[in-house]
Amino acid sequence: MTVGSRIAIIGVPIDLGAGRRGVDMGPSAIRYAGLSRRLCELGHHVIDFGNLATPMVETTPLPPPDSRLRYLEPIAEVCAHLANLVADVAAQAMLPLILGGDHSIAIGSASGSARYRRLGLIWIDAHADFNDERTTPSGNIHGMPLAVLTGRGHPLLTGLAGRVPAFEPGQVVLIAVRDLDPLEREALRAASVTVFTMHDIDRRGMAAVMEQALTIATQAADGFHLSFDLDVVDPREAPGVGTPVNGGISAREAHLAMELIAESGALRSLDIVEVNPILDERNATAELAVELTLSALGKRIL
């Protein structure tokens, strides 16, 4: 990513994949925090495509209580639309920047970015998002996108890149995970995905973890997609998320990760997800999302 790059902002105001309302307002909160203006000040050319049309829970019939894939059809429709738009934007040599919304949107954003090229995947999140309909305790699809993108999940979701898997598991890295479901943990152990837990970050430091992560993700021929969930940051610094987990990375560690991503020059697309303004304090989490995005897109201290 160089100064003067063309960046396409796409908002996806959906919360159907989550178990808690409010993240559908995330794109508005991030924009309100000055995202476009700050990117322009950094020297980038910004085109905001606005928000995708998304269904609301008030207008979407509830699935049966025992559903293992809650709101599968409307989420699949939104992700398919998003994947097409992201693929078109990427084909025009723009960098797609997708604002969530819950993390189910990454099924569309990452698949679309990988449709015409081979990308690695860096997933920075408190959760692994590696469930499927057999392992999920909730049925919430925002707990499934990483599994989907590596080939495990419902066929309405797994094929949006035009191939299955969308990303080779050996070129996928999960960073700062600290909250896993029991069956999800077993599935992750059996997979070829590289996992750096908070234990690894505590022992080795963020710089060492990110350097190895970037080596793995850039094995792909055409760079990598970044998916960043704000709940990876400790809730004392990012309170406005739907599934907070204590003991997360600091805002400074998050900035270092993003700065190293920028230095790699291999970032091809990113999504920023799970900002929940209802639970936030003075829009602090959305403002942090903007600052971290700027770091990923080239902002330096000096």
Task: State the SS3 of the chain.
Answer: CCCCCEEEEEEECCCCCCCCCCHHHHHHHHHHCCHHHHHHHCCCEEEEEEECCCCCHHHCCCCCCCCCCCCHHHHHHHHHHHHHHHHHHHHCCCEEEEEECCHHHHHHHHHHHCCCCCCEEEEECCECCCCCCCCCCCCCHHHCHHHHHCCCCCHHHHCCCCCCCCCCHHHEEEEEECECCHHHHHHHHHCCCEEEEHHHHHHHCHHHHHHHHHHHHCCCCCCEEEEEEHHHECCCCCCCECCCCCCCECHHHHHHHHHHHHHHCCEEEEEEECECHHHCCCCHHHHHHHHHHHHHCCCCCC
Instruction: Please tell me the CATH code under which domain 6-296 is placed.
Output: 3.40.800.10
Tokens (6 digits) for 192: 């070829």
Q: Average pLDDT for residues 30-35, to the nearest whole number? A: 98
pLDDT at 62: 72
Decide: 297 and 262 in contact? Cβ < 8 Å.
yes
Domain spans of the chain, in order of start:
6-296
Between the alpha carbon of residue 57 and those of residues 16, 32, 61, 130, 300, the distances in Å are: 7, 24, 7, 24, 41
- Give the mean pLDDT of the chain: 96
The better pLDDT of the pair 63, 109 is held by 109
The overall pTM is greater than 0.95: yes
* pLDDT more than 90, % of the chain: 93
The burial of 69, by beta-carbon neighbours within 10 Å (0-12 exposed, 13-18 middle, 19 or more buried), is given as buried
pLDDT tens-digit series, residues 163-175: 999 999 999 999 9
What is the pLDDT at residue 57? 83
Residues 251-302: pLDDT tens digits? Answer: 999 999 999 999 999 999 999 999 999 999 999 999 999 999 999 999 999 8
pLDDT of the residue at 163: 97
Confidence at residue 100, expressed as pLDDT on a 0 to 100 scale: 98
Mean pLDDT confidence for 221-248 = 97
The alpha carbon of 139 is separated from its chain's Cα centroid by a whole number of angstroms, namely 19
Q: How far is CA 160 from CA 79, 84, 102, 112, 135, in A?
A: 8, 9, 18, 7, 22
Residues 43 and 164: beta-carbon distance below 8 Å = no
Using the predicted structure, report yes or no on whether residue 71 has a pLDDT greater than 70: yes
For 76-118, what is each residue's pLDDT tens digit?
999 999 999 999 999 999 999 999 999 999 999 999 999 999 9
Residue 2 is predicted with a pLDDT of 60
Average pLDDT over residues 185-208: 97
pLDDT of residue 41: 97
pLDDT at 65: 56
What is the C-alpha to C-alpha distance for residues 28 and 15, in angstroms, rounded to an integer?
A: 13
Which residue type occupies 163? R
Distance between CA atoms of residues 89 and 97, nearest Å: 10
pLDDT at residue 67 in the model: 86
Q: What is the mean pLDDT of residues 169-190?
A: 97
Average pLDDT over residues 107-134: 98
Quick one: pLDDT at residue 63?
A: 73
Catalytic residues: 103, 125, 127, 129, 142, 229, 231, 274
What is the pLDDT confidence band of residue 64, given thresholds at 50, 70 and 90? Answer: confident
Identify the pLDDT of residue 66.
65
What's residue 210's pLDDT? 98
Provide the pLDDT for residue 287. Answer: 98
- Write down the residue that tokens 């063309």 correspond to: 6
Q: What is the pLDDT of residue 93?
A: 96
Q: Does the pLDDT of residue 199 top 80, yes or no?
A: yes
Task: For Cα atoms 7, 276, 48, give the angle at the middle one, nearest 5 degrees.
Answer: 20
176 sits in the region (left: phi over 0; alpha: psi -120 to 50; else beta) called: left
In the predicted model, is pLDDT for residue 1 greater than 70? no
